[in-house]
């Protein structure tokens, strides 16, 4: 038996590649995007009432991780990438039907467009449905997850003078909190846990239309080297 679903819209996101996207929503409040709704959902009626809601659940497709062969076990980065776990015990992107879910902040609503923050979604992510967050039912008191009981430990993010000036300039041009976005995303330490970074190794990712490059002067510290047009 099979069913087909179709997107109700696509996310235009600050994240242009997977590397350095936080592993869950809410970890980088400066991560912003716009959900552009497709007809017929681009009509005002479809979003009427959402102005009374602070957060929404997005159900979406991990469109850049879809696979034909289902995996039963995965190696979540949260466990260091070297321990495998049943796929249903994790939020891994490689999963049956490739469906993701994120609670994100609703900043502004207009017909056809939802402005979002705190997202963990790649640019171009197809969204299947939107549901309002319902605090009394969705925030479960006493709930636990022994594998992921708290937000990831943060590491320090320092800037070269040049990189900070570049981030401020580009942030102003983009009208986006770019400095905060870089700091919040890099503090999550995007490198794979098994990688011991040499200080000479330069990492990079694209946020909005700029390329951010950084290195690890020590394994517990990031220094942003430059923020330049991508």
Question: Are the beta carbons of 186 and 152 closer than 8 angstroms?
Answer: no
Using the rule CB under 6 A, which residue among 65, 85, 128, 174 binds ligand SAM? 65
SS3 category, 89? helix
Eight-state DSSP code of residue 15: B
Binds ligand SAM by CB under 6 A, chosen from 7, 12, 24, 206: 24
Stretch near ligand SAM under the rule CB under 6 A, chosen from 93-101, 137-145, 151-159, 214-222: 93-101
113 binds ligand SAM (CB under 6 A): no
Q: How far is the CB of 7 from ligand SAM (least distance, A)?
A: 11
- The least CB distance from residue 64 to ligand SAM, in Å, is 4
Binding part of the chain for ligand SAM, among 16-24, 39-47, 133-141, 192-200 by CB under 6 A, reads: 16-24
Among 43, 48, 64, 145, binds ligand SAM (CB under 6 A): 64
Angstrom distance (rounded) from CA 166 to CA 226 = 7
State the minimum distance, in angstroms, from the CB of residue 12 to ligand SAM. Answer: 12
User: How far is Cα 176 from Cα 12, in angstroms, rounded to an integer?
Assistant: 14
In angstroms, what CA-CA distances link 108 with 46, 69, 104?
15, 39, 12
The label of the residue with tokens 């087909």 reads 4
- Kindly give, in sequence order, each residue whose CB lies less than 8 Å from that of residue 150, ignoring residues fewer than 6 positions away: none
Closer CB to ligand SAM, 24 or 206, in the complex: 24
Residue 145 binds to ligand SAM (criterion: CB under 6 A): no
| Cα–Cα distance for residue pair 204/19, rounded to 1 Å | 8
Q: CB 142: neighbour CB atoms within 10 A?
A: 4
Binding of ligand SAM by 211 (CB under 6 A): no
Which residue of 105, 120, 184, 207 would you call a contact of ligand SAM, by CB under 6 A?
120
- Binding of residue 12 to ligand SAM (CB under 6 A): no
CB-hemisphere CA count at 13 Å for 194? 8
Cα Dmax for the chain: 58
Q: Which of 7, 12, 23, 180 binds ligand SAM (CB under 6 A)?
A: 23
| Phi, then psi, of 162 in degrees rounded to 5 | -65, -45
Number of residues that bind ligand SAM (CB under 6 A): 18
Taking CB under 6 A as the criterion, which residues in 164-203 touch ligand SAM? none
Question: Closest approach of Cβ 162 to ligand SAM, in Å?
Answer: 28
Q: Could you tell me how many residues make up the chain? A: 230
Binding site for ligand SAM (CB under 6 A): 18, 21, 23-25, 62-65, 91, 93, 100-102, 120-122, 125
């Amino acid at each position: 038996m099979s069913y087909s679903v179709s997107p109700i819209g696509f996310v235009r996101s600050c994240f242009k590649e997977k590397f350095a996207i936080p592993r869950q929503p809410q970890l980088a409040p400066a991560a912003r995007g716009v959900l552009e709704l497709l007809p017929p959902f681009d009509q005002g009626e479809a979003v009427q009432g959402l102005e009374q809601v602070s957060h929404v659940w997005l159900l979406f497709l991990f469109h850049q991780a879809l696979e034909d062969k289902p995996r039963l076990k995965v190696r979540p980065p949260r466990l260091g990438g070297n321990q495998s776990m049943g796929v249903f015990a994790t939020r891994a992107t490689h999963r049956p039907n490739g469906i993701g879910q994120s609670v994100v902040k609703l900043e502004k609503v207009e017909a056809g467009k939802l402005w979002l923050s705190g997202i963990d979604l790649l640019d171009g992510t197809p969204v299947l449905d939107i549901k309002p967050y319902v605090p009394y039912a969705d925030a479960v008191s006493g709930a636990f997850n022994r594998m992921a009981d708290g937000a990831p430990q943060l590491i320090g993010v320092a800037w070269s003078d040049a990189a900070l000036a570049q981030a401020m300039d580009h942030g102003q041009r983009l009208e986006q909190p770019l400095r905060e976005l870089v700091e919040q995303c890099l503090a999550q330490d995007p490198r794979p846990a098994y990688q011991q970074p040499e200080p000479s190794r330069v990492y990079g990712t694209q946020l909005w239309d700029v390329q951010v490059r950084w290195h690890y002067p020590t394994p517990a510290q990031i220094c942003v080297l430059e923020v330049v047009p991508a």
